[in-house]
Amino acid sequence: MVEYWSLALFHHSTTPSLPQSFLALGLTTEPGIIYWLKTECRAIDETRRGIEKHFAMPLKKLKEYLDSQKIKYVSITHSPAFTAMEVAESAHIPGHELAKTVIVKLDGVLAMAVLPSTSKVDLNILRESVGATEAKLATEPEFQSLFPDCETGAMPPFGNLYGLDVFVAPRLAEDDQIAFNAGSHTEVMKLAYKEFERLVKPKPVRMTD
């Protein structure tokens, strides 16, 4: 169990000796201060563990897949962000380098459209590019069950893991790396575009103006 401490301070002329569990919290001691310590209840730690487990699940699946394929990647944790531009800002990634995943329906079949976060998918252009009769944005109820391990709106562009075709904007292939949501609103992953291309085999098609 991790112990949490509430602190009371008063001046003292020597450096106090503190428990190892307190030092493990990353706090340092200085001459002139004594810390009065008080443990808090176990429920705080159990709540923290539950939250960490919830956010780790989608990333774990993706990491295990990439590790099994011997892929090098970088994982970036950031504050919660829910739009593509917020994610780019929180993760300190230029918007045009961050890929977003849009779930579409092409002639009634779900698919992924992957494009720069600064762009907007044009359904008419996408429909013509793939030779479909109809192209629509999928609704959340239509695709949510396909991604039980992902938070809504944070699906990684790995359609091969979910049985979906992936269409990618050619602009993304111009960069050496691709960055994307890793299944949660607090995690971004970066890897070489050529590795993404090798694993996912996306179909490059025009989908923006």
CB neighbour list of residue 51: distance below 8 Å, 6 or more residues apart: none
62 and 124 fall within a common domain? yes
Going by C-alpha positions, the residue among 99, 82, 78, 101 that lies closest to residue 162 is 101
99 and 65 fall within a common domain? yes
Low-confidence winner among 34-48, 55-69, 95-109, 115-129 (lowest mean pLDDT): 34-48
Burial of 177 (C-beta count, 10 Å sphere; 0-12/13-18/19+): middle
Q: Which domain holds residue 9?
A: 5-40
Read off the pLDDT of residues 92-105 as tens digits, 9 standing for 90 and up.
898 888 999 999 99
Query: What's the chain's average pLDDT?
Result: 80
93 and 190 fall within a common domain? yes
Residue appearing with tokens 């893991």:
161
162 and 116 fall within a common domain? yes
The Cα 206–Cα 109 span in angstroms is: 19
Q: Report the CATH number at residue 69.
A: 3.90.960.10
Domains of the chain: total: 2
Torsion of CA 11, 15, 18, 23, to 10 degrees: 100
Per-residue confidence (pLDDT) for residue 118, from 0 to 100? 92
Read off the pLDDT of residues 3-28 as tens digits, 9 standing for 90 and up.
333 333 434 444 444 445 444 444 44
pTM: 0.72
185 and 113 fall within a common domain? yes
12 and 77 fall within a common domain? no
